[in-house]
Amino acid sequence: MAFQVTEKNFEDTIKSGKTVLIDFWAEWCAPCKMLNPVIKELESEMDSEKVTIAKCDIQNEQALATKYGIMSIPSLLIFKEGEVKEQIVGVVPKQKIVEKMKPYID
Amino acid sequence: MKDLIILGGGPAGLSAGIYAARYKLDTMLLEKEYFSGGQILNTWLVENYPGFKEIKGTKLAKRMEEQAKSFGLEIKQEVVKEVDLKGEEKIFKTADKVFKSKTAIIATGSNPRLLNIPGEKEYYGKGVSYCGTCDAPFYKDQEVAVVGGGNTAVDEALYLTKYASKVYLIHRRDELRADRILQDQAFENSKIELVWDTIPKEIDLSEGDKHILLHNKKTNEDKKLKVDGVFVFIGYNPNNQLFKDQIELNQAGFIRKQKLSSIETNLPGVFAAGDIMEKKLRQIVIAAGDGAQAAFEANEFITKTY
């Protein structure tokens, strides 16, 4: 299970030097659940030395959702060195997520 | 070689799977997503499927899937990239696998239609949404526009009133297409304001001037409506990309019925079920009915041919 980011550990996570994918989700959102297995696969396939995959429950972390302008879920944000590099909205194939992440993986 | 391959795991495909499994056909269902259910997964509450006064879309999907599996249906998560349905063998190719069968049921369904106006793509995920149940909580005490006039649009507008302070329901005609019971609920809801005879021209949700530009078809006037979000429910496009050059379609891209009472396609051994078929009404109960009939006809075809 991907680890859950909260306001407390968010900054440290995105500034860890790794490429970070954060999945903004909520319990009430069916498409978010459809994306879960994709996130799990990404987690097991990607090099954890270089990539962090995390989830952000927007019900508990409304401030983070607001800060990053999340208005639709699921939304995936790709961070590098603390900056948002890409945003992917909705349920998309795994390959598309990998393609978007690739340029930011060392 | 399988007896039957079903393409798509919405209500039509799952219902076909239930029937086919009970006919003891060696059947495989291919679904591109990790969860079966198709569009009902995005439906908050289903209130018109017989046997359930109300049931969450996700729950109904789960139950259909469990029922099909209990009869032995094999469901696989596979993204099919290419099909060849013309020959005696029906062939389905993914990136790294090939599946073959004697018959096929096409149940690929449809996808929400886009407005195709400026701003829609740019603000997708930043104020433009196609899923009210997902995104309604983002609009607490805010004003939103819902575009459409069918069951989905009215249903989602009603759901949005749980959070939003105001919901403008924008419809291109002067009456709604939704079921009367839903219309009545919308008319009685003080948070919903109907905007008749109107089509959206542009969406601009940039900070400080968030609005949707509306065009009134009767008065020919354009006006800006201040909203924080725009929800689009204007019908569906058929998911026909895989087979559009093999199966006969109607002008709108749905699979053409060969006979009034049947669900055969123009290709022998290939049947279609659910939203992908040409029809006047697209509902879960109809998709389930189609699925049953498609499985019946596939079974009959195999008995006759093999």
Within B85-172, residue ranges assigned H as helices are: 132-135, 151-160
- Give the residue from B32, B34, B39 with the most A CB atoms within 10 Å of its CB, the best one to mutate: B34
Answer yes or no: are the C-beta atoms of B109 and B239 closer than 8 Å: yes
Share of chain A above pLDDT 70, in %: 99
Query: How far A86 CA lies from chain B's nearest CA (Å)?
Result: 13
Residues B221 and B89 in one domain: no
Whole-model pTM? 0.81
Contacts with B23 (C-beta within 8 Å, 6 or more apart), sequence order: B295, B296, B299
Strands B128-129 and B229-232: parallel
Q: Is B62 helix (H, G, I), strand (E, B) or coil?
A: helix
Chain A residues within an 8 Å CB radius of B57: 30
Report d(CA B3, CA B18) in Å as an integer: 14
Residues B138 and B202 in one domain: yes
- Residue B284: the pLDDT is 95
Q: What is the ipTM score, two decimals?
A: 0.79
Residue B122 inside a domain? The answer is no
Within B109-192, residue ranges assigned H as helices are: 132-135, 151-160, 180-188
Establish if A2 touches chain B: CB-CB under 8 angstroms.
no
Mean pLDDT over A7-25 rounds to 94
Residue B210 inside a domain? The answer is yes
CATH, residue B248? 3.50.50.60
Chain A residues within an 8 Å CB radius of B133: 28-30
Alpha carbons within 13 angstroms on the beta-carbon side of residue A19 total 20
Residues B74 and B207 in one domain: no
Where a domain ends, among B178, B205, B232?
A: B232
Mean pLDDT over A20-41 rounds to 90
Query: How far B125 CA lies from chain A's nearest CA (Å)?
Result: 5
- Residue A100: the pLDDT is 95
Residue B272 inside a domain? The answer is yes
On whether the A3-100 domain is CATH 3.40.50.11310, my answer is no
Answer yes or no: are the C-beta atoms of B141 and B164 closer than 8 Å: yes
Please give the backbone phi and psi of residue B19, each rounded to the nearest 5 degrees, phi first.
Answer: -65, -45
Angle CA A72–A75–A81, to nearest 5: 135
Distances (CA, A) of A77 to A28, A62, B128, B170, B271: 20, 15, 17, 32, 41
Residues B200 and B242 in one domain: no
Establish if A89 touches chain B: CB-CB under 8 angstroms.
yes
Where a domain ends, among B232, B266, B284?
A: B232
| Beta bridge mates, B200 | B214
- Give the residue from A32, A70, A72 with the most B CB atoms within 10 Å of its CB, the best one to mutate: A72
Neighbours of B175 (CB within 10 A): 10
Residue B191: in which H helix or E strand, if any? none
Residue spans of chain B under pLDDT 70: none
Mean pLDDT over A69-94 rounds to 93
- Residue B41: the pLDDT is 85
How long a stretch of residues is chain B?
306
Establish if A103 touches chain B: CB-CB under 8 angstroms.
no
Range of the domain at B44: 2-112+236-305
Q: Letter for the amino acid at B163?
A: Y
Residues B137 and B197 in one domain: yes
Report d(CA B272, CA B83) in Å as an integer: 14
